[in-house]
Amino acid sequence: MLKTTRTLAAAAGLAMLAASVFAPAVARAQDTIKVGILHSLSGTMAISETTLKDVMLMLIEEQNKKGGVLGKKLEPVVVDPASNWPLFAEKARELLSKDKVAAVFGCWTSVSRKSVLPVFEELNGILFYPVQYEGEESSRNVFYTGAAPNQQAIPAVDYLLANEKVERWVLAGTDYVYPRTTNKILEAYLKGKGVKAEDIMVNYTPFGHSDWQSIVSDIKKFGSAGKKTAVVSTINGDANVPFYKELGNQGVKAQDIPVVAFSVGEEELAGVDTKPLLGHLAAWNYFQSVDTPENADFIKKWQAFTKNPKRVTNDPMEAHVIGFNMWVKAVEKAGTVASDAVIDSLIGVTVPNLSGGYSAMMPNHHISKPVLIGEVQENGQFEIVSQTPGLVVGDEWSDFLPDSKSLISDWRAPMSCGNFNTATGKCGGKGS
């Protein structure tokens, strides 16, 4: 009997101990404003996301030099969600409820954003998402500083139609949501422009696909039908290097079959010998080669911060720069870091971007940006060959998909809705 009691007591103690480990530390005096950084530092996505963590640290350091925000210093809270999607949700929850961060800058892949979305909505946090994505989403708690399909894919296709007179299209992508959606939109768009179904070839490959021999040879075959052919690539990060190496080796020249990519930037090209890739294209809202004083200044600071004079910059970094500056401005406007106030004051905030203009946060939580088309140069940089004359506003609900055609998003009162249906006049999607 005694033994049982002792066992019970021991077990109870253990359980209490276990539970207390999870209880938050007693809250300290709030003399700083915490900013969460939720980027993978290990696993498959570390390759892209680590840079974004660094750029955030730089921005925060700089802001602190300028005196912080609302008279308080900013304190970065870095966690590693390790390219593990459920871990993203867990870490987001930790940042919001344990560390009580004022805003989170993070995520790269769509799935990580999808994973944290309910957490941000539940705990009313603020997430700045810096990467180009498929659209079809608008959340009150998320600010999308990367490109929506209309800020990247459609202008790129327009460029190819107008300047390269492309008639046949290969839509090659990694099999996940972003390429699928983008290609759906592009297919609808191209068909609207009179391209026949047999002149569009769609191809999906798994993540990290490394043997591109057959596919590149198929592309060559498809491209030798006598009509000008181009490849629109939504191939994901890791698979790009072997893809471009194979393109180079099989002699697919940009003059014959140009490849325009939406996920290949300066960072990705840093791992490839670009000589055979001369002239292949990419569409972004920013290139390192943008020739403005703001950009030169940013590059200088970045290379000094990373102590690497060759370190490149890229589009998602600029998105974080814009997002961070917007947040700072909105917090100052609202005079508080409280989520609701900041969320409301963010809309309409305008900050300079690095390509010489001003980007504004729109009511749909997407921003306005210029669209640039660049050609790969020998030095791994992009030569900008086209730039939209004005800014393009991110369109979260594509006009080219039947189910999202009539949806809009406007987070201002009184509508305050992420999926307002203009046909039925109701919030909540298509309605039944």
Report the site for other proteins in 133-172 (rule: CB under 8 A): 136-138, 163-165
Residue 147 CB, shortest distance to other proteins, in Å, is: 18
Kindly tell me which of 279 and 357 has the beta carbon lying closer to other proteins. 279
Kindly tell me which of 33 and 254 has the beta carbon lying closer to other proteins. 254
Contacts to other proteins from residues 267-326, by CB under 8 A? 267-268, 270-273, 276, 279, 281
SS3 104: strand
User: Hey, how many other C-beta atoms are within 10 angstroms of the C-beta on 380?
Assistant: 20
By CB under 8 A, name the one of 1, 2, 4, 71 that touches other proteins: 4
User: Hey, how many other C-beta atoms are within 10 angstroms of the C-beta on 198?
Assistant: 8
Residue 5 contacts other proteins per CB under 8 A: no
For residue 407, give Cα distances in angstroms to 275, 378, 410. Answer: 44, 43, 10
Residue 392 CB, shortest distance to other proteins, in Å, is: 21
Kindly tell me which of 332 and 415 has the beta carbon lying closer to other proteins. 415
Contacts to other proteins from residues 80-139, by CB under 8 A? 80-82, 84-87, 89-91, 93-94, 97-98, 109-111, 114-115, 117-119, 122, 136-138
For residue 148, give Cα distances in angstroms to 331, 347, 394. Answer: 25, 17, 5
Contacts to other proteins from residues 205-264, by CB under 8 A? 205-211, 213-215, 217-218, 220-221, 224-226, 238, 241-242, 245-246, 248-251, 254-256, 258
Residue 373 CB, shortest distance to other proteins, in Å, is: 9
Q: What phi and psi values does residue 201 have, to the nearest 5 degrees?
A: -115, 125
Kindly tell me which of 230 and 349 has the beta carbon lying closer to other proteins. 230
Residue 332 CB, shortest distance to other proteins, in Å, is: 29
Kindly tell me which of 67 and 402 has the beta carbon lying closer to other proteins. 402
Angle between helical axes of 46-65 and 293-305 (0-180°, round to 10): 100
Nearest partner of 370 among 347, 394, 338, 351, judged by Cα? 394
Distance of CA 190 to the CA centre of its chain: 24
Angle between helical axes of 293-305 and 315-334 (0-180°, round to 10): 100
Burial class of 257 by CB neighbour count within 10 A (0 to 12, 13 to 18, 19+): buried
By CB under 8 A, name the one of 70, 161, 176, 350 that touches other proteins: 176
Contacts to other proteins from residues 22-41, by CB under 8 A? 22-24, 26, 41
Contacts to other proteins from residues 46-75, by CB under 8 A? 46-47, 50-51
Angle between helical axes of 85-93 and 110-123 (0-180°, round to 10): 30
Task: Give CA–CA dist 323/88, Å, rounded.
Answer: 20
Residues 345, 330 contacting (CB under 8 angstroms): yes
Contacts to other proteins from residues 373-432, by CB under 8 A? 375, 383, 385, 401-404, 407, 418-419, 421, 428-432
Kindly tell me which of 138 and 359 has the beta carbon lying closer to other proteins. 138
Write out the two tokens for 331: 């917090």
CA atoms within 13 A on the CB side of 69: 29
Kindly tell me which of 20 and 71 has the beta carbon lying closer to other proteins. 20
* Amino acid identity at 217: S
Residue 385 CB, shortest distance to other proteins, in Å, is: 4
Task: Give CA–CA dist 340/121, Å, rounded.
Answer: 12
Residue 18 CB, shortest distance to other proteins, in Å, is: 8
Residue 87 CB, shortest distance to other proteins, in Å, is: 7
